[in-house]
Structure 1
């Protein structure tokens, strides 16, 4: 895969092997294998049979690592799906500039590689997960999640979406402007995963078994966590998802706006460097437009 970002560092199995040998010599002889995924910010290597080494590709995600590891420990007892469990922290070295981490391996394939066998079951599992996340009282956490750009007003993305719309259709413009007209979230801020894309859902035997990548965990508008309605579910099961979460009209419209904006911005950025994610981006755009047919 080509580099996806201008500030991305070089990572390969030789480097990861050296890092593991230097920091965790007890694991140095374990098999090491690149996990091919549509992930954009981190490189993932399976370590032995039950662990994974995760290394940031770009500087922008490094600052979230320690927070994410703390949050995962707080979240795990309250969520109905499995989430990553941090096991050890690696130090910079061997030419690699940042801390990295080893996590417990979660069996399965990403939802981009293994399809969902029963969408109605997926609706139930995702709605249960999102509802449980929103109910968590984070007020006493040692490290507080901050407001997220993905849980703030859609208008903050207007400039970038308009640039992407320039190469799309009038239908896309109408859909985006309708989302912008939806009233902003007026309720209390809730926890949001912020990146519930198929690449962050682990599937076993056709069913979602785990959710990964919590570096975007923040507080704010729950609308951004509705994006599975357009990146994973079909037109037939979207209403079931909405009903399961008791989503009002304005929040649903903002959620659709989030799906559209993510798809529009990601498609040109990743179409040559991450074709799997580009397919997801194109799919989100198409599914949003299908709502207006």
Structure 2
């Protein structure tokens, strides 16, 4: 993996490739302006297409399956959700040396919220709870398992390996004993033993859009599917301050075991992300540090 590259096997993508793909497969859109959209995302490149669309292309092979998942399920989920979600307007195919499927979506207005800079944290907490509750209430046949949302024990080895990696990066200042204690507490919580529920499964700040401090849209559904509802509690620690965190929990009626699993999942994701992205993706690394501070600060 070359210096500054997030993942091995990333396919090079530039404006010219996107223009050629559009001209070949969507000639009615050829001639619209194409401009790379800066994003802290880790799996896809995004390009504005004119004023009203966005092209989203996987950077790595592992993101290719997310494309068909979104194309299949987003039209069925959209009318059941209280916030806007991406609308697929074109399904692209491999071509021009680009090896994976890709999509064109309607552009959704809004800005990503930033932890520590929320205008209406309690109201946003209520909006997020409403979205999560709406996802959970969906019943659609043939739902796929979520990318995240399985038993917490599946994350044990990778979480402990990340803690050990962080021991070797003293400049990050992570209390690895405290992190281990929180993780082991989460592992002791009973697992979800009811039917799995629909999840977005990647409610990072970069996948949320707000206007005036209120939630307007949720994007990037590549991880969606059914699983443990604790998986969609991550905004409690990756975005919301303590008081709004309680608003979020109360609105969803989360029991202690599910809350503990949710905190453990969120911490695990941050612990794994920090050593992986600390030199290649400042947004992801910064949010990982925020999560670790928030979770360990509750002890």
TM range (shorter): over 0.9
Deviation digits for residues 6-34 of structure 1, max 9, x if unmatched?
A: 01111111111111111112222111111
TM-score, reference length from structure 1: 0.95
Cα distance in 2 for partners of 1:264, 1:81 equals 30
Question: Are 1:268 and 2:270 matched, yes or no?
Answer: no
List aligned pairs for 1:215-254, cutoff 5 A.
215-254=222-261
Q: Is the Cα–Cα contact under 8 Å of residues 42 and 55 in structure 1 kept in the other structure?
A: yes
Q: Is the Cα–Cα contact under 8 Å of residues 182 and 254 in structure 1 kept in the other structure?
A: yes
Deviation digits for residues 235-255 of structure 1, max 9, x if unmatched?
A: 122111110000000000000
Task: Look up the SS of the partner of 1:150 in the other structure.
Answer: coil
Q: Identify if the C-alpha distance between structure 1 residues 114 and 89 changes in structure 2 by more than 3 Å, giving closer, same or farther.
A: farther
> What's the CA shift for 1:52?
0.4
1:202 aligns with: 209
Q: Is the Cα–Cα contact under 8 Å of residues 71 and 91 in structure 2 kept in the other structure?
A: no
Q: Is the Cα–Cα contact under 8 Å of residues 231 and 259 in structure 1 kept in the other structure?
A: yes
TM-score, reference length from structure 2: 0.93
1:50 aligns with: 52
Task: Look up the SS of the partner of 1:186 in the other structure.
Answer: coil
Name which of 169, 172, 186 aligns with 2:179.
172
> What's the CA shift for 1:145?
2.7
Deviation digits for residues 162-186 of structure 1, max 9, x if unmatched?
A: 1111224211111111111110001
List aligned pairs for 1:76-95, cutoff 5 A.
76-95=78-97
> What's the CA shift for 1:91?
1.9
Which is further off, 20-29 or 48-57? 20-29
Cα distance in 2 for partners of 1:122, 1:223 equals 19
Q: Is the Cα–Cα contact under 8 Å of residues 163 and 180 in structure 2 kept in the other structure?
A: yes
Cα distance in 2 for partners of 1:6, 1:182 equals 35
Deviation digits for residues 176-207 of structure 1, max 9, x if unmatched?
A: 11111110001111001100000100122322
List aligned pairs for 1:116-135, cutoff 5 A.
116-135=118-137
The alignment's C-alpha RMSD in Å is 1.5
Name which of 209, 218, 232 aligns with 1:211.
218
Q: Identify if the C-alpha distance between structure 1 residues 47 and 112 changes in structure 2 by more than 3 Å, giving closer, same or farther.
A: farther
Task: Look up the SS of the partner of 2:23 in the other structure.
Answer: helix
Question: Are 1:282 and 2:289 matched, yes or no?
Answer: yes
List aligned pairs for 1:100-115, cutoff 5 A.
100-112=102-114, 115=117
Cα distance in 1 for partners of 2:215, 2:276 equals 28
> What's the CA shift for 1:149?
4.8
> What's the CA shift for 1:114?
10
Q: How many equivalent residue pairs?
A: 288
